[in-house]
Amino acid sequence: MRLLTYETAPGARVGVLRGERVVELALGYGRIGRPAPGSLDELIAGGEEAWTTARRAVEVLAPEDGVPLDGLRLAPPFIPRTIICGGANFADHLDETHREKPDHVEFFLKSPTGVVGAGTDVRMDRALSTKYDYEVELGIVIGRPARNVMREAALDYVCGYTIINDVSIRDRQVIPWDPGRYQLRFGEGKSYRDSAPLGPWLVTADELPDVSTLGLRTRVSGQLRQNNSMRNIIWDVPALISYYSTYMTLEPGFLIAAGTPGGPALGSDVELGADPYERRDGVVRGAYVPDGALVECEIDGIGVLANRYVVAD
């Protein structure tokens, strides 16, 4: 299933994507005589029983029941309870920023208050930063409580996947200290208004049983800036889930951002210690996102998360 949330005059609705049409999920619940969840957040929180009912509801829907996807205003598919971010997880990103591979994946949290949906503007506050960046990342949605999970069982705790753009303000994240030395501030550089575009929908785990080969790309105003594959991730999805579950109980609705490949504007910023080496995969080295640019984050098997960056107070 591909589940999304879209705006209507009466309020937000949960829909299922069928081809290029969106069918309101509540219609299926009505046909099977069951109360519909008020949001995708509620469905995720309901666990396996709720998902079983949702699949029954979807089975009785037909594409002709829906409306065209084109023209709908999409909201975030759901609002994560928390966002756990894995950094330093692709070698090409480490290489371009002159960093060595850590012993374990980086671990920082991103505020859910920064979540916006596909098609929503990312408002750049120039009083806050002049270096707004992009990071395409696979979003892993937890579907049931996970604590001290073995790597071999980790995928059993995933209910679906989505795309997250880990918007980063680099002049708040990377602070020059001494010559050749920099202080990293993930709190200041990662959590603020519109810092977490999410979507365009959630793809349930049964539709993506193997995410280990998915391609990831970012385009800025049509220019290819990131291009890599989950084949090249350092710590894969099961390893991330297992690792984070040793620190906390991963609850339904938690989102894990798996880390970004090389190609963000930070990788071309020599002022912040980058080494923008030449790439041979079509990636163009570029500056930070200018006013009005359309940033498209794409992951195979999921789709494209597109947001325009605009200067706003």
Q: Are residues 222 and 246 in the same domain?
A: yes
Helix 47-59 and helix 25-32, axial crossing angle in degrees, nearest 10: 90
- Cα distance between residue 304 and residue 117, in whole Å: 12
Q: Are residues 29 and 87 in the same domain?
A: no
Distance between start and end Cα atoms, the chain: 38
**Boundary (domain end) residue, out of 23, 51, 75:** 75
Q: What is the pLDDT of residues 263-282, one digit of tens each?
A: 999 999 999 989 899 999 99
Q: Are residues 21 and 100 in the same domain?
A: no
| Furthest C-alpha separation in the chain | 67
Q: Are residues 36 and 130 in the same domain?
A: no
* Tokens of residue 95, six digits: 């290489």
Whole-number pLDDT of residue 104: 82
Q: What are the respective helix, strand and coil percentages of the chain, to the nearest 5?
A: 25, 30, 45
Q: Are residues 37 and 15 in the same domain?
A: yes
Q: Are residues 186 and 265 in the same domain?
A: yes
Structure-model confidence comparison of residues 262 and 87, the more confident one: 262
Q: Are residues 261 and 177 in the same domain?
A: yes
**Boundary (domain end) residue, out of 75, 96, 116:** 75
Q: What is the pLDDT of residues 64-102, one digit of tens each?
A: 899 999 989 999 999 999 999 998 899 999 889 888 888
Compute the average pLDDT of residues 134-144.
Answer: 98
Domain range holding 30? 2-75
pTM over 0.75: yes
Name the strand (E) or helix (H) holding 307: strand 303-311
CATH number for the domain spanning 307: value is: 3.90.850.10
Q: How many structural domains is the chain composed of? A: 2
Q: Are 225 and 283 in contact (CB under 8 A)?
A: yes
Whole-number pLDDT of residue 68: 96
